[in-house]
A = this chain, B = another copy of it.
Amino acid sequence: MEIPDIVIGRLPIYLRALTRMAAEGMEITSSHEMGQRLGISSAQIRKDLSHFGEFGKQGSGYQTQYLIKQLRRILRVDGEWEVALVGAGALGRALAHYDGFRDRGFRISLIFDNDPAKVGTLLNGFQVYDTARLGELIRQRSTTLAMLAVPAEAAQQVTDALVKAGVRGILNYAPINLVVPDGVWVQYIDPVVHLQRMTYYV
């Protein structure tokens, strides 16, 4: 049976909360305790996790480290994924320097920009390559994940090149919807969309 996408979407949230709990020294937790941290009902958490098996004994809670390990395995972040970054402007540079990727399964280690002043420079220890070499290098390294931090006008063209080179998952920071073929996943980050969602209520 296929697991609903909305369930998959909650697993990274659970993993993040559990990792913090472990860092705080909590060896055991419960769906109740997780739910309180996350504002999600404990029944929902138990139901979500039950899609993937039994992770705790009735009444004795979850072993935090064990559940972390299982969620990493389910989400396939028990190793490290290379992520290509396209766009080394202010946002791209902030992403390249962000130290929250490594511990959570990702490493930005292939960086592109089309500005001649940036090409050849180092960003967080990695060389910035000309975007013209994007297809060649992504194919060579079999990179499957990319982040887009380019202007909206360039986003679809870069996406087409990424997909052609074999990228299957794109995290898009450009404020525009992308068209991709089946079998390619896109996630969007646009702060304005989130802000506008709140102004309706505030």
Q: A residues near B, CB below 8 A?
A: 8-9, 11-13, 15-17, 20, 37-39, 74-77, 81, 83, 90-91, 93-95, 97-98, 100-101, 104-106, 144-145, 147, 152, 168-169, 171, 175-177, 179, 185, 187, 189-202
Contacts and interface: CB of A to CB of B under 8 A. Distances in A.
B12 A193 contact: yes
11 contacts: A16-B177, A90-B93, A101-B192, A104-B192, A105-B199, A144-B202, A145-B202, A168-B202, A169-B195, A169-B202, A171-B191
A105 B196 contact: yes
Copies in the complex: 2
B192 A100 contact: yes
Contacts of A90: 93-94, 97-98
Contacts of A185: 198, 201-202
Contact of A196 (B37, B104, B193): B104
Contacts of A200: 8, 11, 74-76
A1 B139 CA distance: 52
Q: Which of A13, A105, A189, A199 has the most CB of B within 10 A?
A: A199
A74 B71 CA distance: 40
B194 A189 contact: yes
A143 to B, nearest CB: 11
A195 B152 contact: no
Contact of A37 (B75, B152, B177, B195): B177
Given A171-B191, A189-B191, A192-B101, A145 B16 contact: no
Given A37-B177, A39-B177, A90-B94, A169 B192 contact: no
A180 to B, nearest CB: 9
A185 B91 CA distance: 25
